[in-house]
Structures are given as structure tokens and as C-alpha cells.
């Protein structure tokens, strides 16, 4: 029972902070709420005893990648008057919320009907270094390398944009 309550709290934190991340006006507010999302997802990994995924989530995502994102945002020095005017943001958020709401209700109903205790991870190897390494470097090697190239291009682009303004 305690795990289910903790799961519900962490899931709610992840969902709310991701909504704040999407709806925030300033980029730094989005990045800070993204940190909350990543930490709550890391806690969900810890809840299912995926210790390696928990550590990787904290060190790599919440640590390194988000530090890089915040560094780039601060390096660009975006002022509020330079941000685009978002006239229809509330309409878009309400519209997408109404589209997502029925699917969310179905998902919540299915989760409440399922027997959570039978869905517990049975294998002690789940989320371990060996399984993650085998999966990452066999099935997911191309997306892994493409994401690393994408991050490198984003860093180079932000530095180029910052130098051009000065």
C-alpha cells in the first residue's frame, strides 16, 4: 500500500512539473521544472528497484544534460522582451488538454482495475548495468549516437548564436 501511494505521489509530481515545463513563459522556468520531472522519474526507477537506471537518471539527465541546458539558456541571456508573444497559448493548452483528457481517463481506469501487485518487476536483473548496456549498444546504438550528435549540434548552434549577437 505504501508503494502505491508513493507511486501516485511521484507520478503526480512528474505530470504536474511537466505541465509547468510546457506552459512556462521563461525558458529557465521550463528548465527548472524539467529538473523536478527528471528527479521524480528517477525516484520511480528507485521504487521498482532499477538502481542503475535511477543513478543514470540522476547523474546524466538531471545532472549533466540539464546543467548544459541551463548553461546554454543563461549563456544566450534571453530577455523577457525578446521572447515571442504567445497570443493563443491558453487556447492551445486547453484544446490539447481536452483532447488528452479522454485518453487519460481510460488509462487511469485501466490502472485502477489492474492488480498492481501482479505487475511488480519479478526479475532482479531489471534495470541492471548488464541488461541496459546490452540493450543500449545492440538495439539502440543508432538512436544513441544520433542523440549525442544532436546535443553537440545544439551546443555549437547556441554558441554561434551568442557570438553573433555581440
Write out the residue range of the structural domain in which residue 49 sits: 2-80+89-165
Q: Domain of 97: which CATH number?
A: 1.20.120.1200
Once rounded to an integer, what is the mean pLDDT over residues 69-80?
74
pLDDT of residue 124: 63
pLDDT of residue 26: 78
Residues 44, 16 contacting (CB under 8 angstroms): no
Q: How many domains does the chain have?
A: 1
pLDDT of residue 115: 60
pTM > 0.75: yes or no: no
Amino acid at each position: 500500500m505504501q508503494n502505491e501511494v508513493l507511486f501516485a505521489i511521484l507520478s503526480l509530481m512528474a505530470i504536474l512539473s511537466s505541465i509547468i515545463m510546457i506552459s512556462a513563459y521563461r525558458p529557465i522556468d521550463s528548465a527548472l521544472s524539467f529538473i523536478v520531472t527528471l528527479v521524480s522519474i528517477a525516484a520511480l526507477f528507485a521504487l521498482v528497484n532499477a538502481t542503475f537506471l535511477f543513478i543514470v537518471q540522476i547523474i546524466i539527465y538531471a545532472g549533466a544534460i540539464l546543467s548544459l541546458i541551463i548553461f546554454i539558456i543563461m549563456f544566450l541571456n534571453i530577455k523577457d522582451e525578446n521572447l515571442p508573444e504567445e497570443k493563443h497559448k491558453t487556447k492551445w493548452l486547453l484544446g490539447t488538454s481536452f483532447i488528452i483528457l479522454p485518453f487519460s481517463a481510460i488509462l487511469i481506469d485501466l490502472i485502477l482495475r489492474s492488480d498492481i501487485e501482479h505487475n511488480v518487476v519479478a526479475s532482479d536483473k531489471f534495470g541492471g548495468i548488464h541488461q541496459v548496456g546490452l540493450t543500449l549498444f545492440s538495439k539502440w546504438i543508432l538512436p544513441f549516437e544520433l542523440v549525442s550528435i544532436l546535443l553537440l549540434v545544439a551546443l555549437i548552434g547556441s554558441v554561434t548564436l551568442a557570438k553573433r549577437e555581440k
